[in-house]
């Protein structure tokens, strides 16, 4: 493998399609508002993933339309109004399915990468 | 459920746009705030934190746009804004929009109306359960049939029906029926309604359920039933009885016989005949008491019934036909009319029954009008094409005017696809509005169309619903026209190099040759198509002229026919002629009456009699004898109709039952049977089925007249004296000629008849109206094709005018330079006209080829001229050329008049 033949992945960019799964996972424990979700993803991933609002909010809209998220306006801890997102039953099922599928694929990819060639 | 939520949420953001936007602003604002706070907490000052947060976010509007794009309603919003933009452009250009929408509405409306009619008479199935199981039983390729034929579908005789019912195996049920006008007036002037003879199985086999009472069943249809019940149609119930439930048990008079009303058929059931309706249905067994002594029930040579059935599950039409073919020999053996001579019998015994799919019922309307309607649809389609070409031309003109706008929008980043889409939405808007208006227009047009085919004596009913086929047709038309007139201009308009277009400040240097070439092609095709339509229009109107101006051999106007029916007087055979003659005498005495006569057959009424002619006084030929048509008339027939007597004499009072048989023949008879020599004194006999008459002596020769219809060639006609007929009718059909108003004459005839006996049925019709009604189809074709032709020429001329004006505008500099250099006005006019002439010439050549190849379809509908009629083509060329020259002379003259300095200074 020569140094120039592979472009290393841009740091912080998400693998395509995983943002949805991360949002669902973040909301598994409790409903949160948009900024909270972004921070949470950043913190838990130890700043590997930085979520840009330009992809976060469209994802909220998409997941809400798919019936996996529900939203409501609530008071925040410092007495301001914010839109809280919560996982629906359907979303919970979707998260379970996606997690399982992700684990399966990740394991497979890991096996391929570790194989002696 | 999720889909529904998605839909609702989408609709919410469409209709509560402001609120959804506000929420989105608030949410993003909250996010930004939180980010700023966080950054300030980490030690940034407020300014720097805000800046950093904004950079991270990348613009609130951009994020909002991305959120919007994540849901389906955003597409609709783009479409909506395109539509609004398009509508605004159209509003700013009302003349263009109005002309476009009007021409599309007319074109789509005409096409839809004709298609709606075609759909109703051709494509739709009968309004009964599982219509695909319904088949018709009839003789396959019946030729040389003899006997009495009555009703619109004289497929079979009653004896055959009985045999078919007993022996068929392929149908779970069969029924016989026949249409017949019923007189429901209790007396006096006849009031005819649409009646049906039906066998007991009719309603049950079709699976029709009553809305009130019960429908006729097998129990009602027992031989010798007298006057059992009648079933009436829903529309008759509403019309005559106001939809009252008390109608059950009330009595309806059918040809003076009381019938109790036993039930009402459902609203959508019009019978099995498309294009017609029925008012009253009575069982077949009641035919003898209604028809009286001419009853066809027992007559084996009376053809008047149509038989249909419902196939058993698993049986196909072919299998049923095979079974019917197998039983045919025995069946025809058993139903052979005893009065047949060996010649008739030979034909008869070879007949084979067949089964024919009848899921869309029977229809003489379909038979007569299907082809004309398809042809009209094609003509209307051409008009729509021409209209689309005109629109395309207008759009192209607009495209070159909007070149800068397009260049600008492409320069700021719009993709070509996006622009094409937006331009197409504009066309779609035009096509949509045009189609909607057209569909509205079609509803009234198709009713007018049906009404124009309907006559008082022969009313039509066509169920003109808008079904999925009609909707699909209209939508497809709209899409097609939109693509036809919208796509090419949209492609053309967006095919610009932004830099070049914007740099040019002068006019039109970027217009290459090709847009103009496209416009020329459009105009040439418009001229070609309109030429084809013009030829069609002229062909049909000349054909109608030929028919209307034809010398039928008799006078057509000022003649009234009265049918006085004295069946109820129960006169014996011998008394009838005297009674009829007495009536005739009294009618002749009415003041203002010029002449009157009694005739068995009214010429051109479609009724007819024909018999074999045996020449000489003895002997019978081996094979088929020659046939002539017959009419039984009283003295004065030729005088009344003003048919010229060429030799010999008219009948007179001396020609009576006891005197030798006499006949008057026409020229064609003389040509055919006397080989052109003088037929006076010639002798022949008449063979009617099996019986041969005593010899007839030809005493007169008259001019040829049309017998059955105007289109036919002259036939040999034998006139016999009604007084010498041995089975006189119980009615007198009196033909009267008068110069006075026929309305007054009617009243006078009515009171005269009442003086004789008030207990007679009288009906009237005017001879001229009857003949006119016979030309309905020709008139329809002439009118509609004329209308389409006119429209087409108008559109094509507008197109030509537009292109020539455009050409003149484009070459203004060139023309100005020519004038400045001393070119005369004539040479400028000549230059412009030359251009127009070239377009016209090419268009005419293509049009002539189109007209010649399309003319074949019209050939059989024309009378007295061929589809390649030279005069018609010459006339069309002349007409189109003169209007085209006129249309291009205006811009040419304008160009010649223009001040060259003015044009050059503008550059």
Q: What is the pLDDT of residue A15?
A: 65
Task: Give chain B positions within 8 Å (CB) of A35.
Answer: 30-31, 34-35
Enter the pTM of the model: 0.79
Residues B135 and B50 in one domain: no
Q: Are the beta carbons of B716 and B668 closer than 8 angstroms?
A: yes
Same domain, B537 and B587: no
Does residue B114 lie in a domain region? no
Which residues are paired to B175 by β-bridges?
B308
- Residue B417: band (very low, low, confident or very high) from pLDDT cuts 50, 70, 90: confident
Q: Which residue has the tokens 């004006």?
A: B805
Residues of A with CB below 8 A from B23's CB?
73, 83
CATH number at residue A86: 1.10.10.10
pLDDT > 80? residue B187: no
Hey, what are B408's tokens?
A: 């600008």
Could you read off the pLDDT of B98-143 as tens digits, one per residue? 888 888 898 899 999 999 988 888 888 888 889 999 999 999 988 8
Strands B134-139 and B148-149: unpaired
The answer to whether residues B780 and B705 belong to one domain is no
Facing residues of B354 across strands?
Answer: B138
pLDDT at position B596 is: 95
Q: What is the pLDDT of residue B501?
A: 63
Number of domains in chain A: 1
Nearest to B230 by CA among B273, B207, B263: B263
Do B476 and B591 lie in a common domain? no
Residue A1 lies in a domain: no
Closest C-alpha among B844, B833, B832 to residue B878: B844
**A79 in any annotated domain:** yes
Task: Name the pairing type of β-strands B696-702 and B662-666.
Answer: parallel
**Contact state of B1 with A67 under an 8 Å Cβ cutoff:** yes
- Comparing alpha-carbon positions, the chain B residue that sits nearest to A57 is B67
Q: What is the pLDDT of residue B79?
A: 82
Q: What is the DSSP string of B267-305?
A: TT---SBTB---SEEEEGGGHHHHHGGG-SSS-TTEEEE
- Confidence band (pLDDT; 50, 70, 90) for B477? confident
Q: Between residues B134 and B91, which one has the greater pLDDT?
A: B134
Whether residue B337 is found in the same domain as residue B379? no
Which residue range(s) make up the domain with B518? 371-503+514-548+776-906
Looking at per-residue pLDDT, the higher value among B570 and A78 belongs to: B570
For position A6, what pLDDT does the model report? 38
Identify whether B437 is part of a domain: yes
- Write down the ipTM of this complex: 0.81
> Are residues B618 and B748 both part of a single domain?
yes
Distance between CA atoms of residues B787 and B809, nearest Å? 33
Of B5, B23, B56, nearest to A67 by CB-CB distance is: B5
Contact B67 A67 (CB under 8 A): no
Q: Is the pLDDT of residue B43 over 60?
A: yes
pLDDT attached to residue B636: 94
Q: Are residues B318 and B457 in the same domain?
A: no
- What is the chain A residue with the closest CA to B34? A35
For residue B711, the 8-state DSSP code is T
Instruction: State the pLDDT at residue B96.
Output: 81
B67–A58 C-beta distance less than 8 A: yes
DSSP-assigned letter for residue B501: H
pLDDT in tens, chain A (117 residues): 333 333 344 445 566 678 888 899 999 888 988 888 988 888 888 878 778 888 888 888 888 888 899 888 888 777 778 889 999 999 999 999 999 998 998 899 999 998 865
- Residue contact B27–A55, C-beta within 8 A: no
- A–B interface: beta-carbon pairs under 8 A: 68
B573, B534: one domain: no
- Is the model's pLDDT at B310 over the cut of 80? yes
Instruction: Tell me: do B55 and B145 sit in the same domain.
Output: no
Highest mean pLDDT among B279-283, B480-484, B828-832: B279-283
**Which residues of A fall within a CB distance of 8 Å from B35?**
35
- Confidence at residue A5, expressed as pLDDT on a 0 to 100 scale: 36
**How many secondary structure helices (H) and strands (E) does chain A include?**
4, 3
Q: CA of B6, closest CA in chain A: separation in Å?
A: 5
Q: Are strands B559-565 and B761-766 parallel, antiparallel or unpaired?
A: antiparallel
How far B77 CA sits from the closest chain A CA (Å)?
16
- The answer on pLDDT for B881 being more than 90 is yes
Q: Do B31 and A35 touch (CB under 8 A)?
A: yes
Same-domain check for residues B214 and B278 = yes
For residue B62, the chain A residues in CB contact (below 8 A) are 54
Within a domain: A81: yes
Domain limits for position A77 = 18-114
Q: Is residue A58 part of a domain?
A: yes
A83 contact residues in B (CB cutoff 8 A): 23, 26-27, 30
Comparing C-alpha atoms, which of B749, B738, B747, B748 is closest to residue B562? B749
Residues B60 and B137 in one domain: no
Residue B497 exposed, middle or buried by CB count within 10 Å (0-12, 13-18, 19+) = exposed
Task: Work out how many domains chain B is built from and give that number.
Answer: 4
User: How far is Cα B10 from Cα A65, in angstroms, rounded to an integer?
Assistant: 8
- pLDDT of B817: 85
- A contact test, residue of B62, B63, B65 with most A CBs within 10 A: B63
CA distance B235 to B266: 9
pLDDT tops 60 at residue B686: yes
CB-based contact B2 A62, cutoff 8 Å: no
d(CA B560, CA B744): 11
**Considering the domain boundaries, does residue A5 fall inside one?**
no
pLDDT (tens digit per residue) in B742-771: 888 999 999 999 999 888 889 999 999 999
Mutate to test the interface with B, among A20, A60, A65 (most CBs of B within 10 A): A65
Give B65 to chain A, closest Cα distance, Å. 9
In a domain, B628, yes or no: yes
Residue B27 sits at φ, ψ, to 5 deg, of -65, -45
The rounded percent of chain B whose pLDDT value lies above 70 is 97
Residue B1 predicted with pLDDT over 70: no
User: Which residue does chain A place closest to B23, by CA atoms?
Assistant: A83
């Amino acid at each position: 493998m020569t140094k120039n033949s592979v472009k290393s992945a841009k740091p912080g960019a998400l693998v395509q399609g995983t943002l949805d799964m991360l949002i669902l996972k973040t909301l598994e424990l409790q409903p949160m508002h948009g900024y909270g979700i972004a921070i949470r993803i950043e913190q838990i991933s130890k700043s590997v993933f930085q979520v840009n609002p330009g992809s976060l909010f469209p994802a909220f809209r998409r997941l809400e339309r798919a019936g996996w998220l529900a939203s409501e306006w609530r008071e925040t801890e410092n007495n301001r109004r914010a839109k809280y997102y919560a996982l629906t039953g359907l979303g919970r099922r979707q998260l379970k399915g996606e997690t399982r599928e992700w684990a399966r694929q990740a394991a497979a990819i890991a096996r391929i990468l570790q194989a002696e060639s | 459920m999720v889909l529904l939520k998605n839909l609702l949420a989408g609709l919410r953001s469409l209709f509560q746009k402001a609120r959804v936007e506000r929420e989105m602003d608030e949410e993003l604002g909250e996010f930004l705030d939180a980010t700023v706070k966080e950054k300030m907490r980490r030690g940034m000052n407020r300014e720097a934190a805000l800046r950093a947060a904004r950079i991270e976010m990348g613009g609130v509007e951009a994020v909002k746009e991305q959120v919007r794009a994540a849901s389906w309603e955003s597409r609709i919003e783009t479409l909506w804004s395109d539509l609004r933009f398009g509508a605004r452009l159209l509003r700013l250009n009302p003349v263009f929009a109005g002309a476009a929408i009007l021409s599309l509405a007319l074109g789509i409306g005409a096409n839809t109306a004709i298609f709606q009619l075609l759909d109703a008479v051709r494509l739709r199935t009968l309004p009964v359960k599982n219509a695909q199981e319904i088949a018709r039983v009839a003789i396959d390729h019946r030729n040389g049939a003899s006997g009495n034929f009555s009703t619109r579908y004289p497929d079979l005789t009653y004896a055959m029906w009985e045999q078919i019912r007993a022996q068929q195996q392929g149908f779970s049920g069969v029924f016989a029926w026949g249409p017949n006008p019923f007189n429901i007036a209790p007396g006096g002037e006849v009031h005819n309604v649409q009646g049906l003879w039906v066998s007991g199985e009719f309603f049950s086999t079709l699976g029709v359920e009553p809305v009130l009472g019960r429908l006729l069943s097998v129990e009602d249809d027992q031989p010798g039933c007298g006057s059992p019940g009648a079933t009436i149609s829903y529309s008759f119930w509403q019309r005559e009885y106001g939809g009252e439930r008390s109608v059950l048990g009330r009595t309806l008079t059918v040809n003076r016989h009381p019938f109790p009303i036993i039930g009402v058929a459902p609203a959508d059931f019009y019978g099995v005949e498309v294009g017609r309706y029925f008012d009253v249905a009575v069982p077949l067994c009641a035919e003898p008491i209604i028809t009286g002594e001419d009853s066809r029930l027992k007559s084996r040579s009376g053809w008047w019934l149509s038989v249909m059935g419902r196939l058993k599950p698993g049986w196909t039409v072919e299998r049923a036909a095979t079974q019917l073919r197998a039983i045919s020999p025995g069946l025809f053996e058993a139903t052979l009319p005893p009065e047949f001579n060996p010649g008739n019998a030979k034909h008869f015994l070879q007949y084979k029954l067949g089964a024919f799919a009848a899921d869309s019922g029977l229809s003489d309307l379909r038979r007569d009008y299907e082809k004309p309607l398809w042809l009209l649809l094609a003509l209307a389609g051409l008009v729509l094409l021409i209209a689309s070409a005109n629109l395309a031309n207008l759009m192209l003109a607009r495209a070159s005017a909007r070149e800068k706008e397009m260049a600008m929008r492409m320069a700021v980043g719009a993709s070509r696809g996006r622009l094409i889409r937006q331009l197409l939405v504009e066309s779609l808007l035009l096509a949509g509005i045009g189609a909607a208006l057209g569909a509205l227009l079609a509803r009234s047009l198709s009713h007018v169309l049906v009404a124009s085919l309907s006559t008082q004596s022969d009313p039509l009913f066509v169920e003109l619903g808008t079904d999925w086929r009609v909707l699909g047709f209209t939508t497809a038309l709209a899409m097609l026209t939109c693509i036809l007139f919208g796509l090419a201009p949209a492609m053309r308009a967006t095919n610009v190099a932004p830099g070049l277009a914007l740099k040019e400040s002068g006019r039109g240097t970027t217009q290459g040759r090709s847009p103009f070439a496209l416009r020329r092609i459009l105009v040439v095709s418009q001229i070609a198509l309109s030429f084809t339509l013009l030829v069609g229009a002229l062909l049909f109107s000349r054909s109608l002229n030929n028919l209307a101006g034809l010398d039928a051999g008799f006078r057509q106007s000022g003649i009234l026919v009265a049918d006085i029916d004295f069946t109820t007087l129960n006169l014996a055979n011998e008394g009838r002629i005297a009674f009829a003659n007495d009536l005739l005498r009294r009618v002749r005495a009415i003041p203002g009456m010029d002449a009157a006569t009694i005739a068995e057959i009214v010429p051109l009424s479609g009724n007819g009699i024909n018999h074999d002619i045996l020449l000489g006084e003895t002997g019978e030929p081996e094979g088929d004898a020659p046939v002539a048509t017959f009419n039984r008339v009283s003295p004065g027939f030729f005088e009344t109709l003003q048919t010229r007597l060429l030799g010999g004499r008219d009948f007179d009072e001396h020609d009576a039952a006891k005197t030798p048989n006499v006949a008057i023949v026409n020229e064609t008879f003389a040509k055919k049977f006397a080989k052109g020599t003088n037929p006076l004194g010639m002798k022949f006999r008449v063979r009617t089925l099996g019986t041969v008459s005593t010899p007839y002596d030809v005493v007169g020769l008259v001019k040829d007249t049309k017998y059955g219809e105007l289109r036919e060639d002259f036939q040999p006609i034998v006139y016999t004296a009604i007084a010498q007929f041995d089975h006189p009718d119980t009615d007198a059909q009196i033909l009267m000629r008068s110069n006075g108003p026929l309305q007054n004459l009617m009243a006078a005839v009515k009171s005269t008849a009442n003086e004789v006996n008030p207990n007679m049925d009288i009906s009237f019709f005017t001879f001229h109206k009857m003949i006119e009604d016979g030309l309905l189809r020709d008139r329809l074709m002439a009118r509609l094709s004329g209308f389409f032709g006119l429209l087409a020429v108008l559109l094509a001329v507008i197109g030509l005018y537009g292109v020539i004006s455009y050409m003149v505008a484009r070459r203004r500099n060139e023309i100005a330079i020519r004038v400045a250099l001393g070119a005369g006005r004539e040479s400028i006019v000549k230059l412009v006209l030359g251009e127009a002439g070239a377009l016209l010439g090419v268009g005419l050549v293509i049009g002539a080829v189109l007209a010649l190849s399309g003319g074949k379809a019209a050939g059989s509908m024309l009378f007295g001229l061929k589809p390649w009629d030279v005069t018609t083509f010459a006339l069309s060329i002349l007409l189109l050329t003169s209007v085209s020259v006129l249309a291009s002379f205006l811009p040419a003259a304008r160009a010649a008049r223009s001040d060259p300095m003015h044009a050059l200074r503008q550059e």
